[in-house]
Amino acid sequence: MQFIIGVIFFVVVIGVLDARLPWPRLRQKKDVR
Amino acid sequence: MAEITTEEGRAMIAGHFGFAALVKSRERQAPLWALMLATAWLDIVFVPLFAAGVETITIVGRPGGYGAGIIHADYTHSLVGAIALSVVFGLAFGWRWGSRTAIVLGLVSFSHWVLDLLVHRADMPLFPGHDLNQFRFGIGLWRYLWTAASLELLLVAMGAWLYWRAARAITLEDDKARQRARLVSLLILIGGIVVLGLDVSGFGG
């Protein structure tokens, strides 16, 4: 149970909050058309 | 030989997440959610295999107690299995985010095996199907409850602290972002302590 709670909390809750911080942008691979 | 049961033991959880936060402070371009997912990846795969009875736990201490199990997880926690799962995880993100992030995520995924190596009771084989009588990895810090718990607490504290230092550096000119960075750091620390506390106390099922 702790594992499932931990995954949801750290991945989803903390992950979403962290994503709103101005970290250096991740380089996305561009589509080659 | 102890009977193999399906009763759940309690393994390292908080320490893995603390390590992911620590990595975020060094690899700032990697999304924290992906690092958190990477550090738990081996156990995420373990859960359905455990539910299906493919991987099992033998209880050797207090049922449901912290580190009280010998974990027979030959697919997810063997050295070869962990490397394979980590490569898959890295590749799954690498096609989109590039090779550097793929390598970082793959290594964070494999860090799970390295940290488990410290605490597991010599139950991690070289590869799936490895003979039970042959050598298995695991230093066994779970035999010393407070040593293992202190190690996890240290990882959580270091992860939260280094994350805060890195987040503070990128939010110097934005008070609102800095408040959010402080909140995330505190949540890493408090969340880690709560999860570790539940783990060690045996509370919460």
Q: Do A17 and B44 touch (CB under 8 A)?
A: no
Return the structure tokens found at B178: 């800095």
Give the pLDDT of residue B79: 96
Give the pLDDT of residue B205: 57
Tally of CA atoms within 13 A in the half-sphere of A22 that contains its CB: 12
**What is the pTM (predicted TM-score) of this model?**
0.91
Question: Quick one: average pLDDT of B3-32?
Answer: 83
Question: Quick one: average pLDDT of B18-41?
Answer: 97
% of chain B exceeding 90 in pLDDT: 77
Closest CA to B116 of B91, B86, B142: B142
Phi, psi angle pair for B140, to nearest 5°: 90, 35
Distance between CA atoms of B134 and B124, rounded to whole angstroms? 11
Helix (H, G, I), strand (E, B) or coil at B137: strand
Does residue A33 have a pLDDT over 70? no
Contact B68, B59 (CB under 8 A): yes
User: Which DSSP helix (H) or strand (E) runs through B15?
Assistant: helix B14-26
If pLDDT is split at 50, 70 and 90, which confidence band does A30 have?
low
Does residue B1 have a pLDDT over 90? no
Residues of chain A in contact with residue B95, where contact means CB-CB under 8 angstroms, are: 29
Distance between CA atoms of B47 and B43, rounded to whole angstroms? 6
Residues of chain A in contact with residue B191, where contact means CB-CB under 8 angstroms, are: 6, 9-10, 14
Residue B19 burial (CB count, 10 A)? 24
Does residue B71 have a pLDDT over 80? yes
pLDDT of B72-126, one tens digit each? 999 999 999 999 999 999 999 988 999 999 999 999 999 999 999 999 999 999 9
The minimal CB distance from B97 to the residues A13, A16, A26 is found for: A26
Contact B13, B199 (CB under 8 A): yes
Distance between CA atoms of B47 and B116, rounded to whole angstroms? 16
A16-25, B128-137, B141-150, B154-163: which range is least confident on average?
B128-137
Q: Do A23 and B177 touch (CB under 8 A)?
A: no
Q: Do B36 and A11 touch (CB under 8 A)?
A: yes
Domain ranges of chain B: 14-201
Check CB contact of B193 with chain A, cutoff 8 Å. Answer: no
Contact B5, B57 (CB under 8 A): yes
> Across all residues in chain B, what is the average pLDDT?
90
Distance between CA atoms of A16 and B144, rounded to whole angstroms? 36
Closest CA to A3 of B184, B4, B66, B133: B66
Contact B83, B107 (CB under 8 A): no
Residues of chain B in contact with residue A26, where contact means CB-CB under 8 angstroms, are: 29-31, 97-98, 101
User: Which burial class, exposed, middle or buried, applies to B193 when counting CB atoms under 10 A from its CB (0-12, 13-18, 19+)?
Assistant: middle
Beta-bridge mates of residue B66? B10
